Structure 1
Amino acid sequence: MLMKLTEISTGSCQKYALMVDAGSTGSRIHVYRFHQCSNHEPVRLEEEKLFAQTIPGLSAYPDNPQEAAESLDILLDDAIKIVPTYLQKKTPIAVKATAGLRLLGQSKGDDILKAVRYHLETKYPFPIVGGEDGVSIMDGRDEGVYAWITVNFLLGNFDSTRSTKPHTAAILDLGGGSTQIVFEPDVIEDGSLPELPDNDFKYLLKHEGKEYLLYQHSYLGYGLMEARKRIHKQILESAMTPSTKDLMHACLPRGLNWEYTKMTTNPVQFMGAGSYADCLGVADLMLNKGKSCEFPPCSFDGIYQPPIADTFTKGPIYIFSYFYDRTQPLGLPSSFRLPQLASLTESICSGAYIENVTDVSLKDELLDRPEWCLDLSFIYRLLSFGYEIPDDRELTVAKKINGVETGWCLGAAIAILGDNSLKDIQ
């Protein structure tokens, strides 16, 4: 009995939150433990107790919602082992699906989400908070802003005890189906806030008693997996003849004969050209810079964006997700400038990089994944040509900060801890 009382006493300031990231390529669960003794004090992260993932994602079950729901069991069963029993009924959970389910279409996506909600409510003790948003396809606006909260929370930029207020960091996230950008434009010299068009790009965030004016946008269809499809399609459509035999592909390794089956009835034989310059040209076309710009200035695809070179001059820029996965195995420094990425991309596309690789596992990975040149070319042009980040700006690529995953999940978990419905749970 004494041990149980001690547990409850020490746990009175401990709170857990569960966030399920139902992404386009897989599902992931984050179990966070926080310290907060009252609702009036700031939340402090003690530890990310669990990060686990499973492949494929919910969108892999378009015609079997129940199977989609059950695919999360392996993650939730792990969470049950982590969260103390006496806190489980007070530990909020949310399932946020991202671009994969958006791309499935509303009807199939809704059926999957209903099955997931029912499965959670009937099999697991964790309360779903946030009403309909508790199990939902996350709005792209929120995805980016939650990631912004995560990074700046982990960097200590919300710490009110700091003697000088640091400039918040910009975040750029690259998923499989979409990419997001969020930053807080510089305050004007007279101390006033910059003007942003009163539309979806403007996000007024209230966090821990302060207001932040953010620029944000989520580009659906410009995630890495979608970019691959669009670039392959562009190569197909640019072919001089309707023949699908031996099409030259600028973004595949020189001399590679690669059968592509994902977008056509009949297999296509791509012949790799390994042309860095031509591959950049294909990526540039895909970014659609020539599209009409309703609210100038625009970045790409006709989307309004205050120029980073002029309106975000001081803060750090953090990039993650596929930005990390595609650059760090190749030895790009965690902090770099775009000319360094351009040099690496050219070396990969030409084949020069692989000639000097001595790590057997890395060499096998490069040989096994023919789209390295394509991926890096798209990433480089997305940053340099799309978002127009100047060559002299430093970018920091981070999978984790202080041991905690970057991305939107921590920010979303902090948000659900403040859900009023939790106060009614005994």
Structure 2
Amino acid sequence: MALSRVVVAKQKKTWNRKVLFILGVLFVLGIIALIVVAVVQNRPLPKNLKYGIVLDAGSSHTNLYIYQWPAEKENDTGVVEQVAECKVEGNGISSYYLKPTDAGRSLLHCMNKAQEVIPATQQKETPVYLGATAGMRLLRRTNPEVADKVLTSVEDTLRSSHFDFQGARIITGQEEGAYGWITINYLLGNFIQEWSYFKSVRTSGALDLGGASTQITFESDENIESEDNSLHFRLYGKTYNVYTHSFLCYGKDQALRLQLANSITNIQNISLLNPCFNSGYTRNLNTSDLYNSPCVSDQKTLTTPPNIRIEGTGDYNLCKQFVQEIFHLSHCTYSRCSFNGIFQPVLQGEFGAFSAFYFVMDFLKLSKEKVSLDTVKETVERHCAKPWSEVKSESGKVKEKYLSEYCFSGVYILTLLELGYGFNSSSWKDITFLGKIHGSDAGWTLGYMLNLTNMIPSELPFSPPLSHGGYIGLMVFFSVFLLFVLLTCWLSFRKPKCLQKGII
């Protein structure tokens, strides 16, 4: 009897060890499964980014911008940010009208730079667009065949790149103004930063000044009497009605041509005293180069000398008088006009002024904080009154062409904004001069990219391998399984009294 009990005890001890081993293995497996599910489900997800390239082919130079945005979009419009830029060496593509094939070659350096920024695996699916602005608009007006050859050269270069070439075209002035408006409002957060049913965010107007054209764009509550100046956008789930107009030939470079051409008609010799250049400054002007622009070509006469020597006098008030003469204010067939008979509703809200507006005001140290209209006038007048030698000594690193024209540019900007668009001492405080905002350039290209993302199919974001419900279910299952293993161990080795009844 005693021997039998010993044998049973040994069998129970052996069985208990086996059970303990099995339960231990199951417990370890349960712990491992719980950890694996948690780690796999919560590991960082890869970024699903898309890239796009936009080239801004302006009248004076070309810039390449690289943008990126998440493949999953907000309200059908991608959240786009600028990640890199490259300034193409040389002048704008319209300057290659004598040798169009060189226009495409000028872009190669920046296209190679883009290859270094965008991952090789994504280059074939990265769209590249080129938009040409006022310089090419003028070239197409004077010589459409040459303009087409320049665009063909550009297209050939971009098509042969590693990227997905989508097109090169001359954008309209209205498009340039509208996309600039989209850019600054995006960067200022007016579209998506304040999503609220109880707060309406007013958009900012856009003031763009290039070398050959200038644009004004703003949201208006008024009826826009001219259909050509009315545009409609839908961005981030909201519709916007905006007024826009582009004045070709009123960029700062072409405006200077207009002012010089007006002055030349009154001279009797080859020397021209010009109040819009600092005193002591001289420039030899080839009139053939001056009149090769359609903005002034009709003002050339048989008596115009082939070369003219310009001598600056630095007279702010006389310069303002000369500049005002290129604006025509008498003719208007609408209820109100800006200038040259163009309809413009009453100015509304704040405005962001960028491109040449910013560069000139930044040089004059007027861009960092808002100052009064009178302060701006006084600053420009002081600069115009400086002798050329003093201007050069203070700003030796600036190219002479730009440096010599800051007096004219300052006067022109004041005249354009005040006389042309109708800003006054009260509304001047609503203008902010913008260069970069949150690392992105203020200009039309970002707005162009934002608009294009509406045409790029939205993709689902990378998601965890399990749904939320599936993840919670597995975590609960393995937790219950571990509790079951622990309870089984406890019941196997520490039986309650109710389970020991009948055992002697």
User: TM-score, normalized by length of structure 2?
Assistant: 0.73
In structure 1, how many angstroms separate the alpha carbons of the residues matched to 2:99 and 2:453?
Answer: 32
Shift of 1:183: 0.2
Alignment of 1:342-421 (within 5 A): 342-351=377-386, 360=393, 362=395, 365=398, 369-393=403-427, 394=429, 395-420=431-456
Residue pair 1:65, 1:115 contacting (<8 A) in 2 also: yes
Alignment of 1:157-196 (within 5 A): 157-159=190-192, 161-163=194-196, 164-185=199-220, 187=221, 194-196=222-224
Change beyond 3 A, Cα 1:231–1:90: same
Which structure has the highest helix share of the two? 2
Matched, 1:136 2:195: no
In structure 1, how many angstroms separate the alpha carbons of the residues matched to 2:283 and 2:153?
Answer: 39
Change beyond 3 A, Cα 1:349–1:50: closer
In structure 1, how many angstroms separate the alpha carbons of the residues matched to 2:76 and 2:312?
Answer: 58
Shift of 1:338: 2.3
2:255 corresponds to: 227
Shift of 1:127: 1.8
Q: Which runs of 4+ in 1 moved over 4 A?
A: 38-42, 352-355, 363-368, 420-423
SS at match of 2:366: coil
1:66 corresponds to: 101
User: What are the superposed Cα offsets for residues 152-176 of structure 1, whole Å, 9 maximum, x if unpaired?
Assistant: 0011111165342221001100000
Residue pair 1:157, 1:165 contacting (<8 A) in 2 also: no
SS at match of 1:260: strand
2:322 aligns with one of 282, 285, 297? 282
SS at match of 1:304: coil
In structure 2, how many angstroms separate the alpha carbons of the residues matched to 1:418 and 1:80?
Answer: 25
Shift of 1:387: 0.6
1:249 corresponds to: 274
Change beyond 3 A, Cα 1:76–1:221: same
Flag structure 2 segments of 5+ consecutive residues without an equivalent: 1-44, 291-303, 460-504
SS at match of 1:10: coil
In structure 1, how many angstroms separate the alpha carbons of the residues matched to 2:234 and 2:137?
Answer: 27
In structure 2, how many angstroms separate the alpha carbons of the residues matched to 1:47 and 1:372?
Answer: 29
In structure 2, how many angstroms separate the alpha carbons of the residues matched to 1:278 and 1:362?
Answer: 25
Residue pair 1:338, 1:384 contacting (<8 A) in 2 also: no
Matched, 1:155 2:188: yes
**Aligned positions, number:** 392
Shift of 1:17: 0.9
In structure 2, how many angstroms separate the alpha carbons of the residues matched to 1:97 and 1:47?
Answer: 19
Matched, 1:326 2:363: no
In structure 2, how many angstroms separate the alpha carbons of the residues matched to 1:125 and 1:307?
Answer: 48
1:126 corresponds to: 163
Residue pair 1:366, 1:372 contacting (<8 A) in 2 also: no
Shift of 1:87: 1.3
Change beyond 3 A, Cα 1:34–1:336: farther
Residue pair 1:29, 1:75 contacting (<8 A) in 2 also: yes
Change beyond 3 A, Cα 1:305–1:354: farther
RMSD: 2.5
Matched, 1:305 2:344: yes
Residue pair 2:280, 2:387 contacting (<8 A) in 1 also: no
In structure 1, how many angstroms separate the alpha carbons of the residues matched to 2:400 and 2:88?
Answer: 26
1:25 corresponds to: 60
1:111 aligns with one of 123, 127, 149? 149
Residue pair 2:205, 2:218 contacting (<8 A) in 1 also: yes
Specify the code of the residue in structure 1 equivalent to 2:327.
Answer: L
Specify the code of the residue in structure 2 equivalent to 1:184.
Answer: E
Matched, 1:260 2:298: no
Residue pair 1:29, 1:53 contacting (<8 A) in 2 also: yes
Matched, 1:97 2:135: no
2:228 corresponds to: 200
Residue pair 1:354, 1:363 contacting (<8 A) in 2 also: no
SS at match of 1:93: strand
1:191 corresponds to: none
Change beyond 3 A, Cα 1:39–1:52: same
Residue pair 2:88, 2:107 contacting (<8 A) in 1 also: no
Q: Which has the larger radius of gyration?
A: 2
Greater RCO (CA < 8 Å, at least 6 residues apart): 2
Shift of 1:360: 4.6
